[in-house]
Amino acid sequence: MKNFNLRDFGADIWERSNRPVRVAIVIVVIGLVAMMPYAGAGFLATPIAAYDAVIVYPVAIFVLMSLGLNIVVGKSGMLDLGYVAFFAIGAYTMGFLGIHTSLNTWEIMPIGIGLAMLAGVMLGLPTLRLRGDYLAIVTLGFGEIIRIVALNVSWTNGPNGISGIPMPPDIGPLKFRLDDQKVFFWVVLAMILMTIWMIRRLSVRRPGRAWEAIRQDEDAAELMGVPTLKYKIWSFTLGAAVGGAAGVLYGSKNLFVAPEMFTLNVSILILACVVFGGIGNIWGVIVGGVILGYLPDRIRFISDARLLVFGLVLVVVMNFRPDGLLPRKKREKALVKKGANS
Amino acid sequence: MFTVFIDQFWQLTISGIALGFIYVLIALGYTMVYGVLRMINFANSEIFMWGTFGAIVASRDLFRYNQTTEPATGGKLALVLFIQLFAAMAFAAVVSVIVELAAYRRLRARGTNRLATLISAIGMSMVLSETMRLMTDSRPVGSPRILEKVILTEVWGAQIRLDTLITIVAAGAIFIILERFVKLSRMGKAIRAVSMNEDAAKLMGINLNRVITVTFLVGGLATGAAGFFYVTVYEYTKFNIGFTMGLAAFTAAVVGGIGNIRGAFFGGVFLGLAEVYASAILGTQWKAVTIFIVLVLVLLFKPNGLFGEAVQQTRA
Amino acid sequence: MSKTLLKLENLTMKFGGVTALNEVNLEVKEGEILALIGPNGAGKTTVFNVITGVYQATSGSVLFDGHNLVGRKRFQITGLGVARTFQNIRLFGDMTTLENVITATDVHKKSGLVGSLFGTPRARREERENRTKALEILEFIGIDEYSDRLAKNLPYGVQRRLEIARAMGTTPKLLLLDEPAAGFNPQEKVELATTIKKVRDAGYTVLLIEHDMSLIMGISDRVAVLDFGTKIADDSPTVVQNDPRVIEAYLGVPADAS
Ligand SMILES: Nc1ncnc2c1ncn2[C@@H]1O[C@H](COP(=O)(O)OP(=O)(O)OP(=O)(O)O)[C@@H](O)[C@H]1O
Ligand SMILES: [Mg+2]
């Protein structure tokens, strides 16, 4: 037990199971998570905002965005400090089209994702050639620029923001209501599951290898025939797509968007979630998003100082446990275990 | 659109130069640390912000100036300004050294994981700005007027005010002093040796940790001095002023060729002018956007700066 | 006479004031093992860097299999059939041995991100082909028992061999090996020499940088010698070994210094 590691513990259970057991585990876990909105009465209740709202935003949306940012930071090792920009683009797309057209949330969703991806490509094409820290500062600037643009152009309604954004239309018996956010939670959960599916798929195939190679040694990757710029742009753009999707959902849940919601702080919060849980590891990132999304609403002290806490999280985790709670470290298969026992 | 620009060209030029000199000093902070670490110090913008508070703490809490006090004159004026400058530099230098110890040192000792170091630095800058936000209740903090902003003379219709003149002269002097320090002193030579070739410098028996600490210290002094001038000219500060000032000064450092100390000077002045002119033409709300576009263009087309010499980059 | 696979013409590479390569001409024939030797700092690695597009030559041209490589992107050069190893090992440490090689085999595959995401038949087939091919290569090089180990945890000698295996993963026509035996003991060197011969016999052309004279004498068909960026000899091993200019270039420099 000396080197207990939750990730390996989970992976062990997973590896020992056969297919039906795995399917059962997945269904049970998803089912349990889907019941979360009903679990708010006791210990989990949040003193400041309503519990069922808190688990949609920040918690679930943070998890979704962290998964998206993790594609960029964790998988391919590029520091994107302007992730909020894509979230803002999604939210504003929802706001603008939601009040100016008759399109509903589900119809706006692909448009929001598309625009976020477009922004990702437009920012990525020139800047992803830059070295890591330059990329970081350029994305940092970009995040703020989007906010400043939203503040100063007329169609976003400047500092007043866009209000009166419509809720999503009901899905059969599932009704979206302001005072009952269960359905929203399930929708975000569905998006999270889709994102996980996407990342897992890509991770074990060519794009995942390309990202991994880029993260570890970009020049060597390029010399082994990996078109690094292309895969970097893909990574950036997929991250943007997830951020855009989160933004559309957020706009449609919040019914109101304004520039002050999209500050640099959001980018940092999401980065903290990624880093805290375990950079590069899906499960770690989810745990990070849940904990850092939830705690500030549970513990009053943290809610005032949440950014301070998150900043500290970044410094402390990087310095003392750079792999976060659940490290990415891949396990070596059988051969090593034998070796380790001897 | 252009009328303001043309009518006020000389006035704009003067304030652009003054602003540029502030950028020069912050850019010096970025450039010096970059030289030894080969990494952008994301926390430098917040070090600057802390410097501005240093200046205000000195005048407000030490000399008990407030919004209704008469501005100082004569010897008292010089004394207060000097103590303010000293306080700003000291605040910033202390914060800068703390940043190095808390965010960089451990990671450096462990090896070269650039991503972790960058994240640690960005976390540190969050900690600095949030601490200040909580201490000031997110409110702007006005600086009592120490210096009567008298108009000294007019040149081509442009007024030259006392605070502008002091900024240009004093910031220029501080820049020269620091530049000479790096050029001539033993420690400065060690810093430059590390910038050129870290391994060789280590072989020559240079204590790397000490050199890096001193670099952060000197960078902090420069950046803090900029904080003082900022307060003298604009008479206010806020926990979040670091971002735009930092972005601009970093852009200045890149324009001058990052790592190149003299380049920081030209870059700073260039950026001060560019910002003031662009604001006059496009409106001040687009200031940050203009800076950002300049930064991206320079990084893309002249990554070694407009003035700096080309640095050979090594790849495989 | 077999056909020329690679031809360097008047290749010059300057770094500021340093001339690392000076008007170098070199031909590599299909199917041969050509050794490139020279004292430390002679410019050997620079030759590799210019061929593979890491550096842009100051002047001169690199002709490979009917293409001029100068100005091409690095991954495109690899796609055309040039692959290299690194003098200072640069594996993808957090990947397994097998994944290291599969990353390289991807270069000739058609399916991209969308195909991988939706698991198109082609993407699945290519994944299978990659795996099979990578395992074949690992077996060929003799390190298949390590295929599930993380590259960073491999013994040094295996890492060096994996460098070769990974380069072979790109199905190169020309294999550039940069001091593959560095740090090996005599026994390991002999084994490596056998492997390199085997690689050549499997149809690859090899350009090899090496310091160990006995290894070179044993396996190379031809030896080219660089000194201060200039080619001073280019002939059969025995001729080169007795060339007074070569002896002079090496004088005082132990042959196995690296
Ligand atoms: N990126 C670079 N910038 C400046 N000089 C360089 C660069 N790369 C190589 N050089 C110089 O070019 C010369 C040749 O270097 P190279 O690495 O090709 O030598 P080598 O023959 O491979 O030596 P070794 O046997 O030590 O590997 C050296 O003087 C080296 O300092
Ligand atoms: Mg070499």
Structure tokens at A332: 């070596």
Q: How far apart are CA A237 and CA A121, in angstroms?
A: 6
Contact A284, A327 (CB under 8 A): yes
Predicted pLDDT of residue B198? 80
Phi-psi region of C18 (alpha: psi -120 to 50; beta: other; left: phi over 0): beta
Q: How far apart are CA B21 and CA B260, in angstroms?
A: 16
Bridge partners, residue C8, by sequence:
C26, C62
- B43-79: pLDDT as tens digits: 999 999 999 999 999 988 888 887 777 787 788 888 9
Between the two ends of chain C, the Cα-to-Cα distance in Å is 34
Domain boundaries, chain B: 3-315
Between the two ends of chain A, the Cα-to-Cα distance in Å is 17
Of residues C107 and B310, more confidence is placed in C107
Cβ(C38) – ligand 1 distance below 6 Å: yes
Let me know if residue A141 belongs to a domain.
yes
Contact check, Cβ <8 Å, B130/A268: no
Interface of A with C in 164-203 (CB under 8 A): 198, 201-202
Correct CATH for B3-315 of 2.60.200, 1.25.40, 1.10.10, 1.10.3470: 1.10.3470
Predicted pLDDT of residue A329? 64
Tokens 């706001």, located at residue: A95
Name the pLDDT band for B316 (thresholds 50, 70, 90). very low
Cβ(C49) – ligand 1 distance below 6 Å: no
Cβ(C44) – ligand 1 distance below 6 Å: yes
Contact check, Cβ <8 Å, A206/C99: no
Overall number of domains in chain A = 1
The string of DSSP codes covering C112-181 is -HHHHHHT-HHHHHHHHHHHHHHHHHHHHHT-GGGTTSBGGGS-HHHHHHHHHHHHHHT--SEEEEESTT
Orientation of helix B287-301 relative to helix B242-255, angle to 10°: 30
Q: How far apart are CA C186 and CA C174, in angstroms?
A: 26
Cβ(C22) – ligand 1 distance below 6 Å: no
Q: How far apart are CA C19 and CA B240, in angstroms?
A: 50
Q: Which of A342, A332, A327, A226 lies closest to A285 in space, CA to CA?
A: A327
- B242-296: pLDDT as tens digits: 999 999 999 999 999 888 888 999 999 999 999 999 999 998 888 889 999 999 9
Beta strand C33-37 pairing with C205-209 = parallel
Min Cα distance C54 → chain B (Å) is 7
Nearest CA to ligand 1 atom 14: C43
Beta strand A256-257 pairing with C4-15 = unpaired
Let me know if residue A107 belongs to a domain.
yes
User: Which residues neighbour A131 within 8 Å (Cβ) at sequence distance 6 or greater?
Assistant: none
Name the pLDDT band for B184 (thresholds 50, 70, 90). confident
Q: How far apart are CA B187 and CA C188, in angstroms?
A: 48
User: Which range is least confidently modeled, A249-253, A311-315, B304-308, C207-211?
Assistant: B304-308
**Percentage of chain C exceeding pLDDT 70:** 97
Min Cα distance B298 → chain A (Å) is 11
- Alpha-carbon dihedral of residues B201, B204, B205, B210, nearest 10 degrees? -30
DSSP A181: -
Average model confidence (pLDDT) across chain B: 88
- Could you tell me where the beta strands, DSSP code E, fall in chain A? 162-163, 256-257
For residue A42, the SS3 value is: coil
Name the pLDDT band for A131 (thresholds 50, 70, 90). confident
Question: Which ligand 1 atom lies nearest to the CA of residue C48?
Answer: 18
Orientation of helix B74-99 relative to helix B114-136, angle to 10°: 140
Q: Cβ–Cβ contacts within 10 Å for residue B131, how many? A: 17
Predicted pLDDT of residue A334? 43
Chain A with chain C: Cβ pairs closer than 8 A:
110
Q: Chain C interface, mutation test: which of A76, A223, A232, most C Cβ atoms within 10 Å?
A: A223
Q: Which of A68, A85, A63 lies closest to A263 in space, CA to CA?
A: A85
Helix or strand (DSSP H, E) at C14: strand C4-15
Contact A243, C109 (CB under 8 A): no
- B11-26: pLDDT as tens digits: 899 999 999 999 999 9
Question: Which ligand 1 atom lies nearest to the CA of residue C13?
Answer: 12
Contact C209, C44 (CB under 8 A): yes
Name the pLDDT band for A98 (thresholds 50, 70, 90). very high
Q: For chain C, which residues lie within 8 Å of any Cβ of chain B, measuring from their own Cβ?
A: 15-16, 49, 52, 54-55, 86, 90
The string of DSSP codes covering C232-248 is EEEE-HHHHHT-HHHHH
Let me know if residue A106 belongs to a domain.
yes
Predicted pLDDT of residue A330? 61
Contact A214, A83 (CB under 8 A): no
Q: How far apart are CA A238 and CA A227, in angstroms?
A: 17
Contact check, Cβ <8 Å, B316/C15: no
Q: According to DSSP H, which parts of chain B are helical?
A: 3-7, 9-37, 44-57, 74-99, 106-110, 114-136, 162-184, 186-196, 198-203, 208-234, 242-255, 261-282, 287-301
Let me know if residue A192 belongs to a domain.
yes
Predicted pLDDT of residue B311? 41
B285 touches chain A (CB under 8 A): yes
Structure tokens at A309: 């806490």
Name the pLDDT band for C49 (thresholds 50, 70, 90). very high
Q: How far apart are CA B284 and CA B291, in angstroms?
A: 11
The answer, yes or no, to whether residue B314 has pLDDT greater than 90, is no
Average model confidence (pLDDT) across chain C: 92
Q: Which of A89, A77, A96, A67 lies closest to A156 in space, CA to CA?
A: A96
Going from the C-alpha of B111 to that of each of A113, A247, B106, B136, B259, the distances in angstroms are 39, 38, 9, 38, 22
As a whole number of Å, the CA-based R_g of chain A is: 20
- Rounded to an integer, the average pLDDT of B224-241 is 94
Q: How far apart are CA A48 and CA A57, in angstroms?
A: 13
Residue of A nearest to B314 (CA): A219
Predicted pLDDT of residue B48? 97
CA of C227 to the centre of ligand 1 (A): 12
DSSP B310: P
Min Cα distance A312 → chain B (Å) is 6
Bridge partners, residue C19, by sequence:
C14
On the question of a cis peptide bond just before residue A58, with omega within 30 degrees of 0, the verdict is yes
CA of C45 to the centre of ligand 2 (A): 4
A205 touches chain C (CB under 8 A): yes
- Rounded to an integer, the average pLDDT of B298-304 is 87
Average model confidence (pLDDT) across chain A: 88
Predicted pLDDT of residue B112? 62
User: Which range is least confidently modeled, A300-309, B97-106, C227-236?
Assistant: A300-309
Longest dimension (CA), chain B: 64
Structure tokens at C130: 């990659």
Exposure string for B200-213, b = 16+ CB within 10 A, e = fewer? ebeeeebeeeebbb
Q: How far apart are CA B51 and CA B67, in angstroms?
A: 20
**Percentage of chain A exceeding pLDDT 70:** 93
Domain boundaries, chain C: 4-81+172-257, 93-163
Contact check, Cβ <8 Å, A216/C104: no
| Nearest-5° Cα angle at B308, B307 to B312 | 145
Min Cα distance C218 → chain A (Å) is 29
Predicted pLDDT of residue A3? 56
Of residues C238 and B149, more confidence is placed in C238
Contact check, Cβ <8 Å, B118/A133: yes
Please tell me which of A10-19, A242-251, A268-277, B255-264 the model is most confident about, judged by mean pLDDT: A242-251
Compare CB distances from B296 to A126, A272, A322 and report the shortest one's residue.
A126
- Rounded to an integer, the average pLDDT of C237-243 is 88
Contact A257, A145 (CB under 8 A): no
Min Cα distance B97 → chain A (Å) is 15
Contact check, Cβ <8 Å, A330/C94: yes
Of residues C119 and A131, more confidence is placed in C119
Structure tokens at C162: 């994996």
Predicted pLDDT of residue B294? 92
Contact check, Cβ <8 Å, C104/A217: no
For residue B223, the SS3 value is: helix
Name the pLDDT band for C1 (thresholds 50, 70, 90). low
Name the pLDDT band for C251 (thresholds 50, 70, 90). low
Predicted pLDDT of residue B300? 87
Q: How far apart are CA C232 and CA C223, in angstroms?
A: 11
- Rounded to an integer, the average pLDDT of C78-97 is 95
- A148-172: pLDDT as tens digits: 999 999 989 999 999 999 988 888 8
Q: How far apart are CA C251 and CA B5, in angstroms?
A: 71
Q: How far apart are CA A264 and CA B126, in angstroms?
A: 10
Name the pLDDT band for A340 (thresholds 50, 70, 90). very low
Contact check, Cβ <8 Å, A219/B117: no
Q: How far apart are CA C128 and CA B75, in angstroms?
A: 83
The answer, yes or no, to whether residue A336 has pLDDT greater than 50, is no
Q: Which of B60, B239, B18, B49 lies closest to B146 in space, CA to CA?
A: B60
Exposure string for B134-163, b = 16+ CB within 10 A, e = fewer? eeeeeeebbbbbbbeeeeeeeeeebbbbeb
The answer, yes or no, to whether residue A236 has pLDDT greater than 60, is yes
Residue of C nearest to A199 (CA): C117
Nearest CA to ligand 1 atom 4: C15
Of residues B39 and C254, more confidence is placed in B39
Correct CATH for C4-81+172-257 of 3.40.50.300, 3.40.640.10, 3.40.190.10, 3.40.1080.10: 3.40.50.300
Compare CB distances from C94 to A207, A216, A219 and report the shortest one's residue.
A216
